Homo-oligomer: A and B are copies of this chain.
Amino acid sequence: MPKERSGPTMADVAREAGVALGTVSRVVNGEQVGDEFREKVNAAIRRLGYRYNNSGRALRTDRTNTIAFIIPNTINPYFALLVHHINVALEKRNYRMMLCFTDYDKDREIEFIRMAQQNRVDGIIALTYNPSLSIPEDIPFVTIDRFFSVSVPCIAADNFGGGALAARKLKECGCRNVAFMRIGSALTNEPSKRRDGFISACVEMGLPFEIKALEDNQSFSEFENFLSGHMHGGKLDFDGLFIGTDSLAWSIIKVLKKWNLRVPEDVQVIGFDGIRMFGDQECVVSTIAQPVQEIAETCVTTVLSRDLSSVPSLICLPVRYEFGGTTKG
């Protein structure tokens, strides 16, 4: 059942103003129109209370001024920040965002791509968790943090550089033995380069290091085992920790405190992401901050750019070290 007729159309306005339909269109779109015509049309628009209908335009032009953003959720603060900045960037260009939460579900990722195609969105920005997702070719598609192929631009922080930066910062703080810690299942694809960069810088600087992936992301018994393996006479045999994610860093610090290890005196901690909770938390972790706004802006300009073929297939944006009070400097 169609809704009841939804108000006057351009044809009604044209009739009321005594001009041609096309003229109304050009007035509405701010194109070149003679002054007296524009006046008549505008008057008629006001008289009738005409309201533009985007559906007609979408059908005719096959452009919706809408971009689909595919992301697991908006609860993770990093994702929430992305949503925010992408929306701001889109709005600046008069585009709307169609938000798609996958909840990390591969089937929903696929389903959303199909839906986006049906809705004739003008592009898709996606942060997916299916490495073998098949990317549509008939619609501009860019990814965040996931490299698929040279024909699908991937926008990410400079994860490798960030990892290296963390290592250098730990060294600067006087660390002699460091470790990298992450949740095993997370940090796939581009973000996994945080580890690579860390390793590379440690090797280069001759800083002894260890890599540890925690498989269990609920309890932290694994980490506690790790700790006890490294305790000798009440002292840790490493003094710096680079942790793949701020949220994990938070949890780790909590465990450290439980073990009466002081941060940063006994062990330096650096996280990754640059997420601050509520702006002024009591304990703010030092972190390699992602340039979220730049990532968002780049995603949008890229996905809206005329032809993606002239765009680099991997765009890495510079990270920033943020001192948070849990390292010496």
Contacts and interface: CB of A to CB of B under 8 A. Distances in A.
Q: Tell me what chain A mostly uses at the interface: helix, strand, loop, or mixed.
A: mixed
A54 interface: yes
Contacts of A96: 98, 115, 119
A182 to B, nearest CB: 16
A3 B61 contact: yes
A55 B54 CA distance: 9
A251 B251 CA distance: 21
Given A81-B75, A83-B99, A99-B99, A6 B56 contact: no
Interface in A143-202: none
A51 interface: yes
A115 B307 CA distance: 28
A55 B64 contact: yes
A88 interface: yes
A51 B6 CA distance: 28
Interface string A112-123: 000101111000
Interface residues of A, number: 51
Given A3-B62, A66-B98, A74-B80, 17 more contacts: A2-B61, A2-B62, A6-B62, A6-B138, A54-B119, A55-B55, A55-B64, A55-B120, A58-B58, A74-B74, A75-B77, A75-B84, A77-B80, A91-B101, A251-B278, A254-B280, A277-B281
A261 interface: no
Interface in A4-41: 6-7
Interface string A63-87: 1101000000111010011011001
A203 to B, nearest CB: 32
A230 B113 CA distance: 59
A52 B118 contact: yes
Given A80-B74, A97-B98, A99-B99, A281 B250 contact: yes
